[in-house]
Amino acid sequence: MQLFDLSGKVALVTGSSKGIGEAIVRRLAEHGAKVVVSSRKADACEKVAADINGKYSAGNETAAAIPCNINDKAQLRALVDATHETFGKIDVLVCNAALNPYFGPGMEIPDEAFDKIMGANVRSSHWLCQMVLPEMVARKDGVVIIVSSIAGLKGTPLIGAYGISKAADFQLARNLAVEYGPHNIRVNCIAPGLVKTDFARALWETPEAEKRSAFGNPLQRLGEPDDIAGAAVFLASRAGAWMTGQSIVIDGGTTIT
């Protein structure tokens, strides 16, 4: 078996109609996986899935578009069920979707915003794992990848609740890695730095803002979504078979300076 070959695998990726999630779902498909493209907007999912099918399908569908709001447990259940109906199983679960509706001092965040952040960024991943892990246990094989952030490694005066949720992602991965390792299930996090996505647009959309955001970064640039996708391929494939409970930081060196 080639180290990065994902032939025969089925990957479900949340938040995969744009940004980091889209890059991940495209690269998983490129390496042979069948993939589920999922986000809130059906048309955006369908566009990405159609493009993937146009590039990689040879008679059989490679990508399926299944929209879902991760804050809704019933929709998550429907997402998992629809994936089973379409592809029969889930070998790789990538919990990528997240949100951050509040930017400001932590002591001033409304309760509703705090709860929404923790629900979408932590509880939804917990729910999805509850739904998907049993079939992985039955097969004695499976991979869970949680996309966290370096915001979970550093203190911040402006995105505190988001940072708390991303720190919780690391612990969720560690807990699940310990609990499910005996079943040959690996659980890891990817922790990106600032990547040029719509999610972080306010921090890079002007040349001045981008230069300011990249200041002190040893590589002297911000990340692109594809800079993150390769780690997901590594973790999902045979190449990452002895890694679990870990967090891969991909940030251009931001956290070392």
Quick check: helix, strand or coil at residue 69?
Answer: coil
Q: What is the pLDDT of residue 204?
A: 66
Mean pLDDT by groups of 10 residues along the chain of 257 residues: 94 98 98 98 98 86 97 98 98 97 95 97 98 98 98 94 98 98 98 88 73 87 96 98 98 95
Q: What is the pLDDT of residue 189?
A: 98
Q: What is the pLDDT of residue 206?
A: 77
Read off the pTM: 0.96
Q: Which listed residue (56, 102, 162, 180) is catalytic?
A: 162
- The domains found in the chain, sorted by start residue, are 10-256 (3.40.50.720)
State both tokens at 237.
């494939």
Q: Which amino acid does the sequence have at 229? A: A
Q: What is the pLDDT of residue 57?
A: 76
Q: What is the pLDDT of residue 19?
A: 96
162 is catalytic: yes
Q: Where would I find the H helices in 57-198?
A: 73-87, 111-118, 124-139, 160-180
> Could you give the percent of the chain with pLDDT greater than 70?
97
What pLDDT, in 10s, does the model give residues 192-209? 999 988 777 666 677 877
Q: What is the pLDDT of residue 85?
A: 98
What pLDDT, in 10s, does the model give residues 149-207? 999 999 999 999 999 999 999 999 999 999 999 999 999 999 999 998 877 766 667 78
**CB-based burial of residue 229 (10 Å sphere; 0-12 exposed, 13-18 middle, 19+ buried)?**
buried
Q: What is the pLDDT of residue 139?
A: 98
Q: What is the pLDDT of residue 167?
A: 98
Q: Which amino acid does the sequence have at 132? A: V
